Each structure stands twice: as structure tokens, then as C-alpha cells.
Amino acid sequence: MRKISPEDRLLRECIRASHSTNRIRFLLAIWPDTWTWLRAYCVHFHGLPTLSSSATADYSQEVLCAVHTIGHLSNSLTNGKLRAAVHARLSETIDTCAKTVWVNADDEAWDWVHHRYELFASESSTRIEAHPRELPDFDGAQQVGRLIFGDGGTPSNGRGTPQKERCDGFVS
């Protein structure tokens, strides 16, 4: 039996907790890149409080909200639009983090580009507060996007080659 990595175990726990297990399995079956994207996203943002205003479920963590939302997208969109919708939902968290600073009671800020949120939260024994940034961290958003999506966030066809969007909205 193959050992499961801590990153894969964490993502599996998030999928089970999101109540979208079967929908995510469907998504993984038609689009293998989903696992890679969600694993990187889950590891980096695990423990982050809910950010999105579009959250339809009552979850306390942003990762669970994103997985739940993505699970519901899988039944309602065509294959080409689904990839763009998953990318947009994960990017929503990145964009919000680029506009926000998390600070603990000791005035230490989370280095959201280079450190996972869970590590920052575990080192802070006090409450963490979110404050808007004066200027969005666009460079940080690009770096985290590359971390999660790989080559600049371009959806691939599962074989590592970028997909091309056709004029009818589908991706080939």
C-alpha cells in the first residue's frame, strides 16, 4: 500500500468536510489538474478564516468554502467553463489576500506569499485580525498564483500543455 502524503491527506479531509465529495470526485475524473490545484491551494491557505462574500455554506474556513463552491460548479458548467470557474474561485481568495494584511496582537504580519497561513496561526497564540492594505500586493498575488496553478495559472489539458479557448467558449 502506498503512503499518502500529508498534503494529500489534508486535501482529502477538506473534501470530506465540504459535503461535496461526490461532485469533487466527478470533477477529478474529468479534469485531473483539479487535484494539483486544490492540493496546493489547501496547503497554502489551510486554517484561513472565511473571506469570500459569495460563500453559500456556513463554513469557518476559506478552503472549505472554496471546495464546497467548486463541488457545486461541477454539475452546472460545461467542461471549458468549469476550468475557468475553478480558476476564478481559487483566484478570488488570492485577490482578497493581496488586498488584506493579517496581524496578530504582537503586530507581526503574515507573510502570505512565502508562508502557509496555518504556520502563522499556530505561532500566534492570540487573535489574528485582518486589515485592508493601502496598496494591493500584485507581485505576491502572481507568486502565489504560480505556486497554486503552475505555469502562470494557465489551465492545462492534463498532459502539461496549455489549453486554447475556442470561439464557442470551450477549451481544447
Domain ranges of the chain: 6-100+138-149
Residue 10 to residue 21: CA distance in whole angstroms: 14
117 neighbors 47 (Cβ within 8 angstroms)? yes
Q: How confident is the model at residue 138, as a pLDDT?
A: 93
Q: How confident is the model at residue 75, as a pLDDT?
A: 64
Q: How confident is the model at residue 5, as a pLDDT?
A: 86
Q: Which residues of the chain have pLDDT under 50?
A: 152-172
Question: Which helix (H) or strand (E) covers residue 126, if one does?
Answer: none
Residue 42 to residue 12: CA distance in whole angstroms: 10
Mean residue pLDDT of the chain comes to 79
Query: Which candidate, 66, 22, 69, 20, places its Cα nearest to that of 46?
Result: 66
